[in-house]
Amino acid sequence: MKIGVYTNFAKDPHGMLAKKFCGILAKRGIECAFFHGEGDDPGLSALDRSERIGDVLVAFGGDGTMLNVVGCCAERSVPILGVNLGRIGFLTEASRSDLEQVVDRLVAGDYSVEERTMLEAETSDQKSYVALNEIILGTDSNSRVCSIDVEVDGVKADSVRGDGVIVATATGSTAYSLSCNGPVVAPDVKAFVINAICPHSLHFCPLVVSDSSVITLTGDGSKMRVTVDGRVYPAGGGDCRVTVRKSGRSALFVRLGEQGFYEKLIKKLSYWSE
């Protein structure tokens, strides 16, 4: 068995916790491949170049760290187990105090693998992106409104004036879309959420569509940007068009069965109950 270990040095200074985990693996005679990133820099070049990450990747950090590694792992069908060093850690499965238990469960094969739908997007300038949470087309300035036409399977669904439009997976429904009053979608529901960011309208409400739908967002040609799981890219000049559909890749997450989706929802997102 080989286990990849990735850590975010901003959350795990000098990788001390991850290196401790590697030490536990070494004592069990388990091969370990160590990778790391710095702060907002995904630092995934070594992970991308590696011929074999491992049978499982254990990622130390928060939800941002999980989003950084998920694309590379999905491409190689490697499941991820997240150790939460952040604040919410909705995508993670274990805490820093669970290291011995995590190794025991991985070695014994005492875990399940959960599959999550991902998005892929293609822009009008022929660039493509893959996301777990959401794809956003929006303005590059918080002080300027943009206009975006929304089509679902070639049929116009709405026009939005505001800061942008989010297309979120069920996984992403608990991320940015939720803060824009979007619905929470259970991870086993095969649907996407289309939601506006600060719409200048009295009528707009989020749309829930099938994950087999093809969604097209067309901007008004002003300066715009595409945001992919928090990473920002230029949307291209002219009439900015982003086509979003279900990706052929899936994210795989190791689940230890300690906490279900609704338990995690209450524990991690119900701040007022603390």
63 as an active site residue: the answer is: yes
Question: Helix (H) and strand (E) counts for the chain?
Answer: 6, 17
Long-range CB pairs of 188-191 (<8 Å, 24+ gap) are 190/117
In this structure, what DSSP letter does residue 102 have? H
Task: Give me the sheet containing 134-139, strands edge to edge.
Answer: 207-210, 191-197, 164-168, 134-139, 224-228, 231-234
What whole-number distance in Å separates Cα of residue 111 and Cα of residue 59?
16
Query: Considering just the CA atoms, what is the radius of gyration of the chain in Å?
Result: 19
Strands of 171-240, DSSP E: 191-197, 207-210, 215-219, 224-228, 231-234
Q: How far apart are CA 71 and CA 75, in angstroms?
A: 6
* Identified catalytic residue from 40, 48, 55, 63: 63
Two tokens, residue 88: 């919410």
For 95, other C-beta atoms within 10 Å of its C-beta total 14
Tell me if residue 59 falls in helix, strand or coil: strand
Tokens of 48: 């991308």
Q: Is 47 exposed, middle or buried (0-12, 13-18, 19+ CB in 10 A)?
A: buried
Catalytic residue ranges: 63
